[in-house]
Structure 1
Amino acid sequence: MNPPNQDAHLYVQSHVMHNARQLQYIRSCFAAIAGSAAGILGLTNLSGFLFYALSWTILSTLLIARTSRLNKYFIQGYKDILFDGVLGGLLSYILFHTLLYGLVHLYQ
Structure 2
Amino acid sequence: MADNTEIYKYFEPTVQQNNLALSNIHTLTSWGIGTAAGILGLTGWNGFIFFMINWAVISTLVLIVKCKGDLSTYFKSGIMDVAGTPVLNTMLSYVLVWTLMHALVYIYD
Fold-level match, TM-score > 0.5?
yes
**Is 1:30 matched up with 2:29?**
yes
Structure 2: give runs of 5+ residues left out of the alignment.
Answer: none
Secondary structure at the aligned position of 1:21 is classed as helix
Aligned residue pairs, count: 106
Provide the aligned C-alpha RMSD in A: 1.6
Letter in 2 for 1:101: H
Which 4+ runs in 1 deviate beyond 2 A?
3-6
- For 1:58, the equivalent position in structure 2 comes to 57
Secondary structure at the aligned position of 2:92 is classed as helix
Distance 1:107 1:89 in 2: 26
Distance 1:99 1:78 in 2: 31
Secondary structure at the aligned position of 1:14 is classed as helix
What are the Cα deviations for residues 52-104 of structure 1, in whole angstroms up to 9, with x where unaligned?
00010000111111112211110111221111210111000001001100000
Structure 1: give runs of 5+ residues left out of the alignment.
Answer: none
TM-score, normalised to structure 1, is 0.91
TM-score, normalised to structure 2, is 0.90
Distance 1:82 1:16 in 2: 16
- Residues 1-108 of structure 1 mapped to structure 2, 5 A cutoff: 7-66=6-65, 67-68=67-68, 69-107=70-108
- With over 3 angstroms needed to count, the CA separation of the structure-2 counterparts of 1:45 and 1:23, relative to structure 1, is same
Secondary structure at the aligned position of 1:76 is classed as coil
Structure 1 window deviating more from structure 2 (90-99 vs 77-86): it is 77-86
Letter in 1 for 2:103: G
Report % sequence identity.
Answer: 35
Distance 2:53 2:33 in 1: 10
Q: By how many angstroms is 1:4 displaced? A: 5.7
Letter in 2 for 1:47: N
Q: By how many angstroms is 1:20 displaced? A: 0.4
